Amino acid sequence: MTDELRKRTPLHQALAAVLLALIAGAAWAAWLGWDQHRDVSADGTETGPYEAWQVLGLVVTLLLPVIWAATRHYVPAAVLGTTAGLTIAAYVDWSDDASGLYGVGVLMVMLGSAAATAVVAGLAQAATRGRGGPRDHATV
């Protein structure tokens, strides 16, 4: 069995998913976890607690590990691990909301991150195959 095929065993996929979940959770904490205050404008409207640059920073930070995993045939791990990490982080961060609406937000994070990472991982794997990157079959 070649190294390429070993990487795709269920154990390696699971380990990669756990690693990506930890990376996603740490990225959430670094970019969004510290900002918990809403901004109140002069007319009394509230925004936040996150600024657009924080969310963009989180997305850009997660692109590299997702692309890395996808180009090495860890697409399921990239999608499931990143989605799980972000979903858990959102739940932990927002679950103290007394209105109970945090559940809707957590669901949106889960669905959005699953869709986005699936697209990015799929594109990354397709681009790698086209340029002679890691292949699905063993070389003779």
pLDDT at 74: 94
Predicted TM-score of the model (pTM): 0.81
Q: Is the pLDDT of residue 25 over 60?
A: yes
Q: Are 77 and 14 in contact (CB under 8 A)?
A: yes
Q: State the pLDDT at residue 132.
A: 53
Domain boundaries, the chain: 3-130
Name the more confident of 45 and 140: 45
In 10 A of CB 56, how many CB atoms? Answer: 11
Chain segment 84-139, per-residue pLDDT in tens: 999 999 999 988 888 888 999 999 999 999 999 999 999 999 998 765 555 544 44
Go through the chain and tell me how many residues it has: 140
- Please report which confidence band the pLDDT of residue 1 belongs to, taking 50, 70 and 90 as the band edges: very low
What pLDDT does 100 receive? Answer: 80
For residue 1, give every residue at least 6 positions away whose Cβ sits within 8 Å of its Cβ, in sequence order, or none.
Answer: none
Q: Confidence class of residue 4 from pLDDT cuts 50, 70 and 90?
A: low
